[in-house]
Amino acid sequence: MILNKPILLIEDDLVDQMTVKRAFKELKVINELQIANDGEEALEILRDDSKDIPGIILLDLNMPKMNGIEFLQEVKKDQTFKTIPVIVLTTSKHEKDKVETFNLGVSGYMVKPVDYEQFLEIMKSIREYWSFSETV
């Protein structure tokens, strides 16, 4: 997807984590998938000098400890991480969440569908967009 950089998935739901893994396998995405269960854990991963900085972050909004909005507020303040593209993958259809995340600089906002085939299409569009962006 993003050259050889890892992809950071911030998602507390194990079923959703497995769904992303399954979609990546089907789409032949070979990038390392780093998984954080909440925003605090994601910040630890980002600040770990032994790990590569991700090429993209897939972010859920509704999580314990530090939710997606709080994570965005932190990560966008940091000069090292603020340019990493963030795609929100959430069940939230609230306009307020969309507006707030775009104001915080996200690159995209996708509502997670219940149907796996629809989810796979969303993941395909993310992959294609970022693959195209790399070549431009």
Please list, residue by residue across 57-70, b when 16 or more beta carbons sit within 10 angstroms of its beta carbon and e when fewer do: bbbbbebeebbbbb
Q: Does domain 7-130 have CATH number 3.40.50.2300?
A: yes
- What is the spatial distance between Cα 52 and Cα 80, in angstroms, rounded to a whole number? 12
136 residues of the chain, pLDDT tens digit each: 456 789 999 999 999 999 999 999 998 888 889 999 999 999 999 999 998 899 899 999 988 889 999 999 999 999 999 899 999 998 888 899 899 999 999 988 988 888 888 888 888 888 777 664 554 3
- What is the spatial distance between Cα 122 and Cα 69, in angstroms, rounded to a whole number? 21
pTM of the full structure: 0.89
- Is residue 54 within 8 A of residue 8, CB to CB? The reply is yes
Cα 93 from chain centroid?
Answer: 17
Each domain of the chain, given as residue ranges in start order, spans 7-130
